[in-house]
Structure 1
């Protein structure tokens, strides 16, 4: 592993939690006691608006990844400021993580896949040195994502993803699970925000459910996400009658 904990130093904590993003329970909790990483793969799951994307963006910035998305050691949008949480967050690293962050930029390994900006980034860097040879503009979104995963997620590094399932089919999600599991065995670290019960089931992943309660660790079969999908697939009308009735 490369990162043990994300936190906000005492000197950086806000005087009041009345303004965003500190009104979001998981951010307020991070400011108060930090977020500890206990496994090479961490899954953040929760509803829209729960704050999981806010967390992963800031965690990526804490490892000096561009909040716009992209590979470690590169900045893609020069005038893009850090997120408010990214401005103050600090990461407690392992010795291996510290060597990556304190050494030359070329030593940093990792990638931030941000679903909202990924498609533009993929097309902008396709074919450039250090990325991939394929032209993702000629691919479906899902094929483009898998091309990125295959080319960029190969070595020990810090990999952050925000809802990568947005472009992935069922089978493609399974391929990503296999890749994350493989990365975990190399000493790499993955932090992923997701709505996908498939990705959340990655073997050995530490699952953190994010919501009004802040954060809590849970087993896969205890997740609200899994319960809803299971019931919906068993009998869609249990849900649809309230929508269409």
Structure 2
């Protein structure tokens, strides 16, 4: 483990203004988010705040909000988000050196919509590579060292088989001392044994078991009888 807890440090704020109005951010201010396993999945509906949260965690650790590795310095020139500026961490014993020295920090921020651009900036994405192949190339070549690896919906570019390959990479990464925080909609990824699952929503943040996830229940019901869902959206 690299970090044990993340929280937002802010002296004063407008509770009705974004991002402080987002329930998961409010809970981050009040209680923080504890990390109890090397892999943490954040799961929630669109608009729940999970992407806002993972971006801020990446920024707070010193990773480029556009996406990229620890040794890339803000190619976007846009600086950190309001929440990213205020994120603080309680380090695990083996993570204190990383948090104490920017030069010692290792990790990567992978966001679905900018992944190939981030890899290309670092001279890592070969020509002719598909979106999904680019993702897998990042996992093979960049997710190697002990450090913090933050991902925002990596399954967006991956097939079923590629998602399984990703799980294999994550398993090897944590065995090398890495820690992963991943926002996802994937019932496949969240089934990783030993992973911690945090559901994000109007309630803020809460830990759930895989079988209790709403998205797992929906997929199970949909695959059993697609017409039960489709009749509500198709004329």
Residue equivalent to 1:129: none
Within 5 Å, which residues of 2 pair with 1:93-242?
Answer: 93-103=91-101, 105=103, 107-126=104-123, 132=124, 135=126, 137-242=127-232
Q: CA deviation at 1:156?
A: 0.9
- Tell me what 2:60 maps to: 62
User: Is the 8 Å Cα contact of residues 65 and 74 (structure 2) preserved in structure 1?
Assistant: no
Q: CA deviation at 1:201?
A: 0.8
Write the distance in 2 (CA, Å) between the matches of 1:191 and 1:13. Answer: 27
* Cα deviations by residue, 1:124-172 (Å, 9 ceiling, x for unpaired): 323xxxxx4x61x311100110001000111211100000011000000
Distance 1:231 1:104 in 2: 47
Match of 1:38 in 2: 36
Counterpart secondary structure, 2:66 = coil
Determine the C-alpha separation between the residues in 2 that align with 1:140 and 1:179: 19
Aligned length: 235
Under a length normalisation based on structure 2, what TM-score does the superposition of the two structures give? 0.96
Contact 1:180 1:202 in 2 (8 A): no
CA–CA separation in structure 2 for the residues paired with 1:90 and 1:75: 19
TM-score, normalising length from structure 1? 0.92
Q: Secondary structure at the match of 1:181?
A: helix
Q: Would you identify which runs of 4 or more consecutive aligned residues in structure 1 move more than 2 Å? A: 13-16, 101-104, 122-126
1:190-221 C-alpha deviation (Å, 9 max, x unpaired)? 00000011111111000000011111100000
Distance 1:99 1:125 in 2: 25
Contact 2:54 2:152 in 1 (8 A): yes
How far apart are 1:239 and its partner, in Å? 0.6
Task: Write out per-residue CA displacement over residues 38-78 of structure 1, whole angstroms, 9 at most, x where no aligned residue.
Answer: 00000000100000001101111111111111001321425
- Structure 1 residue 179 displacement after superposition: 1.2
Rounded Cα–Cα distance in structure 1 between residues aligned with 2:209 and 2:56: 25
Q: Please say which of residues 49-58 and 173-182 is displaced more in the overlay.
A: 173-182
- CA RMSD in angstroms comes to 1.4
1:82 aligns with: 80
Q: Which residue number corresponds to residue 21 of structure 2?
A: 23
Q: Which residue of 1 aligns with 2:89?
A: 91
CA contact (8 A) 1:220 1:226 kept: yes
